[in-house]
């Protein structure tokens, strides 16, 4: 009896030991700036050898409509980064009252210009222009933002296409930090078509497909997810991605100890009389429980720009093949027209 009691107490102590969570250490900070610098030099080496092999230097054209100061800064950053890698870049600026038809005409000219590999139209656009129409006016083969219906569709199906840069940035930060993903739980907060949704698609997709998805059990939360429900989901998540735009939306009590927290948001906040960039995550407190965390600034932001460059290099490397296809198609159309004429 006494021996049995000792054994029971021993078993309880052992099982309790295994259920006590480890004291939380400070999270590893995922340094997006450092990782993006590494990728920048990898891309520069690829561009150099592409050009050395006799190919034309890749070229990116950005179209900037209106006077949005943040958009001007983003476009400038993209062009400076492109040049640093050896990608030629050009910005076409158009006034605030540009009509949708005029913008589509400019995009179509760029689509037909064989000296250009990548085209992007900086969002947001003035209210008189329907963004979806513009995103789908860019030729899918030049759509470095990956916002064209064809590219979004390919991402949904796990087929090779162009994946939006922010989603690629998030995946790259996760995989370069050796975070385990297969079969793990992810929560993406935010479901916008250009940010939250593509991130969720890339996390949930089949790793055996062509896009390099992460096989995660993925939940999408949005503005109609009650905060208490959001908390239940995030508490179960091994990876939490926040792409909302509300400072301190994510607090310590919402995070599973050891989880990886990726903050996509960029908010401008007035702190002690100075403008500061912050994300959705209450960084200092969440870093106490998370295993990995991205800072804002210096996390997803620099990675997004560099992944856009990766897309630009990839589309330029596919150009020769694409040209053969386009010329072949033009010949076929002309042949068909001639046949119709003489039949």
Query: In this chain, which of 243, 250, 254, 289 binds ligand NAD, going by CB under 6 A?
Result: 243
Q: Which is nearer to ligand NAD, 118 or 247 (CB)?
A: 247
Does residue 167 bind ligand NAD (CB under 6 A)? no
Residues 21-50 that bind ligand NAD (CB under 6 A): none
Q: Which is nearer to ligand NAD, 225 or 317 (CB)?
A: 225
The contacts of residue 222 (CB under 8 Å, 6+ apart) are 189, 190, 191, 196
Query: In this chain, which of 304, 311, 312, 316 binds ligand NAD, going by CB under 6 A?
Result: 304
N-terminal to C-terminal alpha carbon distance within the chain: 103
The contacts of residue 137 (CB under 8 Å, 6+ apart) are 103, 104, 107, 108, 111
Does residue 297 bind ligand NAD (CB under 6 A)? no
Query: In this chain, which of 244, 259, 261, 308 binds ligand NAD, going by CB under 6 A?
Result: 244
Nearest to 185 by CA among 279, 258, 266, 243: 258
Residues 243, 190 contacting (CB under 8 angstroms) = yes
Does residue 200 bind ligand NAD (CB under 6 A)? no
Taking the C-alpha atoms of residue 252 and residue 254, their distance in angstroms, rounded to an integer, is 5
Taking the C-alpha atoms of residue 167 and residue 147, their distance in angstroms, rounded to an integer, is 12
Does residue 245 bind ligand NAD (CB under 6 A)? yes
Does residue 191 bind ligand NAD (CB under 6 A)? yes
Q: How far is the CB of 197 from ligand NAD (least distance, A)?
A: 8
Interface stretch with ligand NAD, choices 78-86, 109-117, 128-136, 239-247 (CB under 6 A): 239-247
- The neighbour count for residue 174, using CB atoms within 10 Å, is 24
Does residue 190 bind ligand NAD (CB under 6 A)? yes
Is-catalytic flag, 263? no
Give 226's DSSP letter.
-
Residues 209-238 that bind ligand NAD (CB under 6 A): 221-223, 225, 230
What's 166-210 look like in SS3? HHHHHHHHHHHCCCCCCCCEEEEECCCCCCHHHHHHHHHCCCCCC
Q: Which one is catalytic: 117, 145, 238, 280?
A: 145
Taking the C-alpha atoms of residue 154 and residue 147, their distance in angstroms, rounded to an integer, is 11
Question: What value, to the nearest 5°, has the Cα angle with vertex 300 and ends 124 and 191?
Answer: 55
Does residue 192 bind ligand NAD (CB under 6 A)? yes
Does residue 166 bind ligand NAD (CB under 6 A)? yes
Task: Report, as residue numbers or ranges, the catalytic residues.
Answer: 78, 122, 145
| Residues contributing to the site for ligand NAD (CB under 6 A) | 166, 189-192, 194-196, 221-223, 225, 230, 243-246, 264-267, 300-301, 304
């Amino acid at each position: 009896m006494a021996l049995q009691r000792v054994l029971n107490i021993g078993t309880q102590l052992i099982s309790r030991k295994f259920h006590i969570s480890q004291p939380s250490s400070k999270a590893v900070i995922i340094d997006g700036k450092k990782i993006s610098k590494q990728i920048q030099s990898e891309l520069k080496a690829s561009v150099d050898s592409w050009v050395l092999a006799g190919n034309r230097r890749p070229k990116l054209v950005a179209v900037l409509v209106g006077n949005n100061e943040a958009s001007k800064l983003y476009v400038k950053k993209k062009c400076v980064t492109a040049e640093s890698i050896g990608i030629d870049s050009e910005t076409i600026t158009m006034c605030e009252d540009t009509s949708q038809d005029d913008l589509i005409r400019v995009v179509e000219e760029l689509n037909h210009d064989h000296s250009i590999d990548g085209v992007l139209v900086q969002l947001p656009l003035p209210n008189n222009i329907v963004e979806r129409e513009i995103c789908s006016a860019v030729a899918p083969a030049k759509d470095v933002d990956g916002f064209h219906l064809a590219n979004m569709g390919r991402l949904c199906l796990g087929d090779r296409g162009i994946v939006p840069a922010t989603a690629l940035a998030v995946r790259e930060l996760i995989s370069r930090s050796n975070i385990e993903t297969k079969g793990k739980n992810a929560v993406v907060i935010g479901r916008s078509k250009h940010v939250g949704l593509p991130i969720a698609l890339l996390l949930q997709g089949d790793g055996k497909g062509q896009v390099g998805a992460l096989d995660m059990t993925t939940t999408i939360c949005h503005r109609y997810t009650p905060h208490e429900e959001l908390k239940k989901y995030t508490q179960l998540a091994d990876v939490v991605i926040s792409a909302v735009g509300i400072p301190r939306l994510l607090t310590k009590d919402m995070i599973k100890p050891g989880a990886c927290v990726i903050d996509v948001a960029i908010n401008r906040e007035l702190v002690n009389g100075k403008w500061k960039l912050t994300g959705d995550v209450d960084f200092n407190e969440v870093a106490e429980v998370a295993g990995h965390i991205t800072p804002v600034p210096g996390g997803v932001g620099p990675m997004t720009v560099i992944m856009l460059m990766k897309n630009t290099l990839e589309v330029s490397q596919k150009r020769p093949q694409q040209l053969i296809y386009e010329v072949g198609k033009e010949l076929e159309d002309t042949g068909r027209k001639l046949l119709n004429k003489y039949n």
